[in-house]
Structures are given as structure tokens and as C-alpha cells.
Amino acid sequence: MLSIQNLKASLKDGTSILKGVNLTVRPGEIHAIMGPNGSGKSSLFKAISGHPLYQIDSGSVTLNGKDILNLDISERANSGLFISMQYPIEIPGVKNIDFLRMALDSKRAYLGLEKIKDSEFNELMDRYTSLLEMDDRYRNRGVNEGFSGGEKKRNEILQMAILNPLVACLDETDSGLDIDALRIVARGINELMTPEKSVILVTHYQRLLDYVKPHFVHVLRHGKIVQSGGPELALQLEEQGYDWIGEV
Amino acid sequence: MDTKQIAYSRFTEIGLPKPRNDDWFFFPNAVLKNILVQPVTESSSESIAKEFDLGVETEKNIAALIPLIQTRKAFVKKIPANEQETGILKARDDFSHTLFHIQKGADVSLEILDNKNEHDFTAERLDFFLEENAQLELFFCNPPQKHNLQFRHIRIVAAANASIKILGVQQNTGCYRQSFDLFLNGEDSTVDFRLLNKLEDDTEAHYHLIIHHNAPHTKSNQLVRQILNGKSHVSYDGAVHVGKDCTEVNSAQLINSILLSEEAKVSIKPVLKIYHDDVECSHGNTCGELDAESLYYLQSRGIDAKKAEDILLQNFAVNTFSELNSSVGSKRILSAITNRA
């Protein structure tokens, strides 16, 4: 379970971004966070994952009871936190397949497991590239190198599938996706969900939530969650925008 | 007078570089004060002077003159037309002069090996004369070694359709200066120059390069990268000269530096002298630290900070050479970079 309590965070230059976020995500739950541009949605993911531009001013973040704010970025990831980036970075020259394997072996080493066997890894790759309808080009190209926006997002979900996190935070995974790609990515997210895992989606649009049904919808505004509800809240936001929601 | 005497006469004329000498501006000239330059008399290089113009009378670079003055015997080799040759070049003495005459259509790949003895001062000069359609690949990727003071001067003259490829990985410590005079004298001749400096401690590495586009349709490319740590200092003075009647010349220079410590230093001086309008010449220079977003991305996938840094540095290094067609040199260099990382 991910528990974020009264989290306040700012940029290293002192600009306050998160002003007391409270969010509890239990296993098996899908949460959607919506909110106007600049409200702190991406910052929330960056702050809890340890992005170097952010500093935690107060509050706590625990994953399965473990305080992750004392861990470095890779330890947080290896503990089960996965952030799918809004703008995935290109790393030309590092083959996607080598990167995926390195990431998986890092996690396995952290958990005290041996490196994954070739056959086991190939089986995982085959299964998930097939699920996400990704061809062999994705394996041997540099990480996100020359990928379209949609291909990068699909590659993020492939990483999520391979790394098998406890909590996946997906930052605007639907942006840049055409209708078919959105359907494929959504199918991937749904198939990867199990009762032990949870997903937090940041999105601006209902269309992703038509495919990935959230249990809870939250509105983040001015660095705080100001409204929470069920899936119907997203439909209401789609119709009415954010102006009707007051400050907390 | 033979070449040695002309070189000595020229050396005494120009003398050791002064602080205001632009070509030696970044070099710590104080280290030169104790070097002793005087001609050795055991041999004569008169035959070389008759057959090849080494440009000694007008030479401005003492690093090009000292090996001629102090070498005991020049090594001269002719590669016959359309022959293929791979080999190594290794100076056995502190001062050496090597000359290759590569005839029409010959294809030569040579690895330059460092002299492994530790010396106070070494200087070598390599001359290459390429006839039409000849190809020359020169490369060096020696394991790290200490050099107190080392000069290396490479001068290449290319005829029509000749191609020059120079690939280097430099990771020695100490103080060294490499200079290159590359003459594209024939139409459609080309040069591809790629250099990676991976330096630490208080290493001083200084490069002075001039590409002379003396014919139409000639092409040159310089890609120089640095990964600098400690108090290391690299200077790169890279010049492109395009002559009056040299139409449709294409030249590119790109220099990227990553500074891993606050005391590491890089000094870049691009020079373009263009005497014709119909040319395409570009130059660019970047300098910074490792990209923080890329580091974050790798770490967010569970890869620890040190390994993430190593991946990005190795990637930066490999990309200096990865676009090249497979060749003896590029394979050797890529293998050396990946194995040493």
C-alpha cells in the first residue's frame, strides 16, 4: 500500500509545489488524479520518486509500511514504485532490450535474487511485446531513440510490465496516443493489474478512463487534493471543468 | 642542406613558443624551458627531402621540427598501388620520424602505439603521402600511461579521391601535445577525424589541427569529445582553411565536453578561414555535466547512481565512433572503450 501523508515539497529554488497532499492507495485499486495544468500532478510523482529538482519539506510517503523518502531514487524503484514519465528520455546507444534487462537485474539484485536467465527474460519480452503489439524494432533500438510520442508511451508500459512494480504511477500516459495505441496501452495496464498491485493515473481526459476504470478520482489543485470521488467525478469534470471546485 | 639541417635552422629561427603565440596559447609553455634541441648527426634524411616536400622551410610548429632534428634515422615505407596493409606504428626512440608513401588505390590501416618507456621528453612525427584513391586509417587507443612531455605531429597530404580517417582515444596522464596538418590537395579527398579524451588527475592534453581544403569537393569532419575529471585540461585548436578556388567544400566540426569535476577545464578554439563562397562549413561546441534528467530516468528504473553515470559516460564515448563503417580501427576502438568501462 502507498500512503502519502501531508506531503509538502518544493523545487530546489524554494518554489512551493505540493502543499499538503494526502493520498492512500490500497492493493488492487486504480486511482485517477486530474487537475488543471500546473496544479502539481507531475510534481507529485517526481517528488515521491526522488527527482533531484525537488525537495521534501515535510510529510511522509510509505510503501508497504516502509518510509521511502529516506531511499535514493533507484532504491525507491526497486522497492516497487514505478513512474511512467510524461516525456520519456531518449538514451541513444543503449539498446532497449539491454536497458530493460539491466533494470530488471538491478531490481532482482536489490531483492537478493540472481540475475534473470536468458530463457526467462526472453519469455517475458515475448509475452509483453506481444501484449503491447510492439515489434522487434523496439528491442534493438536505443532507449526511446527515434520513437514517436506514442511509441515512447508504449515503451514505458513495457518497462512497467517487465519490472512488475507494486505501485505504478502513470503520468499522462494517454497523451500522444492515437485511438488504437490508447486501446492497446489501456489493455496492457488492465492485464497487468492484479489484486496485489495498484495504479495511479494522471490524466486530463475521460477517454483513458473509459478503458482503465478507476475506483477513485481525485482533483489536485494548487498542490493539494481538493476533491475526491468515484468514477462519476471524472465525468463531471469533463462536463463542467474545474471552476466549480473550491479550495480546501 | 638536408632536411635535418633545414629543420634545425628553421627551429632556431622561430624559437620556443612565447606566451603570446596563438598556436601555443593554452599549452603550459613553462614545461618547455628545459628541453634541449640539437641535431643528431648519425644519419641524413637527404633522400626524403628529394622525394617529398615536408614543408619544413615554412613550418611554424616546433613540434613538427624537433623530431626531424633529433631523430637518428627516419623510417620510410612505400605501400604499392592497390595493396592492402594493416600494421602498427611504434616509436622505439625518444625522437622518431616515420614516412609512408601510399600509392594509388592502396588501403592502409595503422595503429599508433605509445612507446612504453617513461621519458622526460619524447617527440614523434608521422608523414603520409596519399596518391589518388588511396585510403588511410590511423588510430590509437593505448591503455593509460604517464607521459612527462610528449609531442606528436601528424602531417598528411591527400591527392584526388583519397580518404583519411583518424580515430583516437586518449587517456594518458602527464602533458602532451598532438598536432595535425591535413592537406586535402586533390578533388573529392576527405578526412574524418574523431577523438575521445578520457582524462584524469592534472593531465594536460593539447591539440592543434589544421585541415587545408586545397581542392574543390573536398570534405572534412571533426568530432571531438572529452570526459574530464580531476584537474585535467584539454585544449582543442581546430582550424579549417578553404582555398580560393575550392568550390563545394563541406566541413563540420563538433566538440562536446563533459566535466566531471569543478577543477577540470576545456579550452576550445574553432578557426575558419574561408576564401570561397560556395562552401558549407559548420562548427559547434557544448560543455556541461551529465544530463540530470537522463540520470534520473535510469535511476527511476532501479539502476543505481554510479551505474547510471557509467552507462551515460560510456554511451557518450561510444557515440563518438559508432556511426563509422566497420573498420579495423573502429572495431578496435569500440572494443577498447566497452571493455575498459
Q: What is the pLDDT of residues B38-49, one digit of tens each?
A: 777 655 555 666
> What is the predicted pLDDT for the residue at A177?
86
Contact list in A for residue B319 (CB cut-off 8 A) is 92-93
- Judge: A77–B311 Cβ closer than 8 Å, yes or no: no
Domain membership flag for residue B321? no
Which residues from chain A sit within 8 angstroms of residue B295, using beta carbons? 52
CA distance linking residue B167 with residue B163, whole number of Å:
13
Q: Tell whether A12 is within 8 A of chain B (Cβ).
A: no
For residue B323, is it within any domain?
A: no
| Residue B297 touches chain A, beta carbons under 8 Å | yes
B323 — contact with chain A (CB < 8 Å)?
no
On whether any CB of chain B is under 8 Å from the CB of A51, the answer is yes
pLDDT value of residue B42: 59
Q: Which CATH number fits domain A2-240: 3.90.1580.10, 3.40.50.300, 3.40.47.10, 3.10.180.10?
A: 3.40.50.300
Q: Tell me whether residues B312 and A49 touch, CB distance under 8 A.
A: no
Q: Which residues of chain A have pLDDT under 50?
A: none
Dihedral sign for Cα atoms in the order A39, A45, A46, A48:
positive
In terms of Cα–Cα distance, which of A177, A178, A200, A204 is closest to A189? A200
Which residues, including other chains, have CB under 8 Å from residue A104's CB and lie 6 or more apart? Answer: A116, A121, A124, A162, A163, B302
Residues of chain B short of pLDDT 50, as ranges, are 341
Query: What was the pLDDT predicted at A248?
Result: 55
Total tally of structural domains belonging to chain B: 1
Q: Is A163 on the interface with B (CB under 8 A)?
A: yes
B302: nearest CB among A91, A92, A163: A163
Best of A51, A68, A106, A115 to mutate (most B CBs within 10 Å, chain B) = A106
How close is the nearest chain A Cα to the Cα of B330, in Å? 16
| Grid cell locating B327 | 573498420
Domain chopping of chain A, boundaries: 2-240
Name the residue type at position A18: L
Q: Would residue B224 count as lying in a domain? A: yes
Instruction: Report yes or no on B304 lying in a domain.
Output: no
The answer to whether A219 and A211 are in contact (CB under 8 A) is: no
**Taking a C-beta distance cutoff of 8 angstroms, is the pair A165, A197 a contact?**
yes
Using a CB-CB cut-off of 8 Å, the residues of chain B touching A50 are 299
Q: How far apart are CA A75 and CA B334, in angstroms?
A: 32
* Residue B47 in domain: yes
Check CB contact of B290 with chain A, cutoff 8 Å.
no
Q: Which amino acid is at A102?
A: M
- Is B302 within 8 Å of A85 when comparing Cβ atoms? no
Q: What is the grid cell recorded at A183?
A: 486501446
Facing residue for B305 by CB, picked from A74, A102, A110: A74
Nearest Cα residue in chain B from A78: B302
Looking at the domain assignment, is residue B319 inside a domain?
A: no
Closest-approach residue (CA) in chain B for A158:
B301
State the DSSP H helix or E strand holding residue B81, giving kind and residue range, or none if neither.
Answer: none
CA–CA separation, A15 vs B209, rounded Å?
Answer: 48
Residue whose C-alpha cell reads 510503501 in the numeric block: A63
List Cβ neighbours of B32 (8 Å cut-off, separation of 6 or more).
Answer: B16, B17, B149
Q: Residue B29's pLDDT is what?
A: 84
pLDDT score for A247: 60
Specify the pLDDT at position B1. 67
In a domain? residue B104: yes
* Residue numbers of the domain that contains B238: 3-290
